[in-house]
A and B are shown apart, each in its own frame.
Chain A
Amino acid sequence: MSVAVMKTKAETSLDEDFQKLRDRLPGGSGVLAVRNAAHQLFAERGLPHRRIEEWKYTDLRNAMKEALPVSIGDETPVTIADLIVALGPFAHVDAQRVVFVNGNFRKELSSVDAQSGVSVESLADKLEASGDADSGLLGEFGEGAPDDDVIVALNTAYSTDGTVVQVEPGAKIEKPLLLVYMRAGREAAFTAVRNVIEVGAGAEAQIIEAFVSLPGAADAGQANAVTRISVADGAKVAHAKCAADHGGQVTHLGNWAVHLGKEAQYDGFQLTQGVSLARHQIFVTFGGENARLDLSGIFLGRNNDHIDTTLVVDHAVPSCESRELFKGVLDDRARGIFQGKIIVKQIAQKTDGKQMSQALLLSPDAEFDSKPELEIFADDVACGHGATCMELDHDLMFYCRSRGIPEDVARVLLIESFIGEAIEKIEDEAVREAFTASAVSWLAAKK
C-alpha cells in the first residue's frame, strides 16, 4: 500500500503541462491512450525517491525540485556552424547525422544517406503518418525490461520526437549513425525523446547518441531519453552515448533497454560529463544463447555533480557472456553511484559474467557508492564483480613531474591513463578519439 504523499512542485507542473499539451503531442488517439496510461502511472507514483530501493542513492524527488516547462514544437534557429560547435570532437566523426534541437527533429541540419535495407525516420513523423499502427513505439520499453518504470513512463507521456532505425537482416549501416540531441536557445526546457532501434539478424550497425548543448544555451535543462534497441540473432551493434553538457543545472535521465538474440554481439558505452544530475538506467536481456555483451562507461563529476549508473543484466538463457567496466573521476563534492545487478536465471548455465567499477577520487569530499548485486540461480556459472576507489598515484605523479611535466598536465595525463582502459573498449578509432577528446576537454577545463 502506498501512502498518498503531497505532490512536489515538479510533479505538479509536469502533471499540469501534460494536461495542457497532450493534444499537441505527435500521434493519433491510440498513441494518446498510451500516453495517458503512462501519465497515469507517473501521476500515481510521482518521482522516485530514496525509500525506493533502486533509488536510495539518488533521491530524484528531492533533487529535482522544479520541472522546467516541457518543450514542444521548438523552432530555435540553429545553423550548421552552430551544430559543429555544439558537437565539439564529435563533428570530426564521419557519420550520418540525425539532429534534434530541444527535442524536435531538424531535417535541414541532418544528413542521412539513402541505403537499401536501412531506414532512419523521425519518431514524430512516424507517429503522425501511421495513425495508431505505431503506438507500440511508445507503448513498449523493451522486451525483458520493466514495464512500469516511472522515468520511462514520463518519457512515454511526453516524447516529442526521436529516431526510429530499422536495419534489415544482413544489412550493414555504412557509416556510423550519429543521433544528436542539442540544447539551444535561452529557454530552459524539459525535453523527452525516444529512440527505437531494430537491428535484424546478421546485420551490423554503429550508433552514437550525443546529448550536447550550444554555447549560450540556457543554464538549465532537463532531458529524459529512452533508447530501445534490439539486436537480433547474429547481429553486431556498437552503441555509444555521450551526455556532455557545460556545467549549469542540467539533469539527464537516460534509459536504455537492450535485447540480445542468439549469438548477437553488443558493445555499449556511455560518457557523462558536465551534467549536474544524471541517472542512467540500462537494462539488458539475453534472449538467445552465445550472445556477448560488453558494456562500459566513464562518468566525470565535479562541483556538486551527481552521476548515477544503474544497470540490470538479465541472463535469461544459457551460455552468454557479459562484461561491464565503469570508471568514474570525481572531484570537489561530486558523487558517483554505480549499481550493477546481474541476474542469472536457473536455466542460464555456462553464464560468464564479470563486472568492475572503479572511481578515482580527486578530492576528500568526493564520494563513490558502488552496489554490485549478483542474483544467481544456476550452478554452473563463472561470475564475479569488483569495485574500487582510489586516489591519483603519488609515485606516478613524481615520475611524470621528474620528466618536466607540470603538475596540472601530469594530473590530466594520469586521469587519462585511468579512464583509458574503458575508452579503449570503443573499437572504431575515430569514435574512440572523439570520446577521448571530449573527456580530455572536461579534464582540462578545471581552473
Chain B
Amino acid sequence: MSDPIQRAREGDPDAFRVLYEEHVGRIYALCLRLARDAAHAEELVQDTFVKAWEKLPGFRGESAFGTWLFRIAVNVTLAERRATGRRESRVGLTAEPEALPAAHRTPDPGAQLDMEQAIAGLPPHARAVFLLYDVEGYQHAEIAQMTGIAEGTSKAQLFRARRLLREALNR
C-alpha cells in the first residue's frame, strides 16, 4: 500500500479519509478547547480538513503532516474568530477545586477535570498560547508563526495563563 499522504495529494479521498481518521482526535481536542462549544468545534474540525484537502498539493513534507494540519486548525480557529468577532459561550469557572496537599497530587481523572474547567476560564489568547505551549508542546517561535502574534507576546500570554491557572486551581 502506498503512502496515504502521497495518494491524498493526488486527489484520492479514500486516502484522505485515512489521514482524517488518524488525526481527527487531536484536531477536535484543540478546537474543543479553543472554541469551548461542542457544535462550533465540530464546524471548525470540518473547516480544517476541507482547507487541508485544498492545500494538500502544496504540502511538501517539511514538517510532519500532523504539525502542518495543526497549523491549519489554529489558523482556521483564529481567523474565524477575527472575521466574525464570534462571542464565546460563557463557561463558569470552578468554584471550589479541592484543596489537596500541593506536593503529592498525582495525575488523576479528577484533576484533569479541574484543569479542563480552569483552562476554559482563561481569556482567549492566554488559552490558545497555553494549549499550544504547555499541552501540545510547541515552542514560542512556532506559536508565533501559527497564530500571527509576536514571540514576545506569546511568552507574555503564557506567563499570564500559567498564573491564572495556578490561582484557579488553588483557590
Whether A and B are associated in the same complex: the answer reads no
Instruction: Give B contacts to A, CB under 8 Å.
Output: none
Instruction: Give A contacts to B, CB under 8 Å.
Output: none
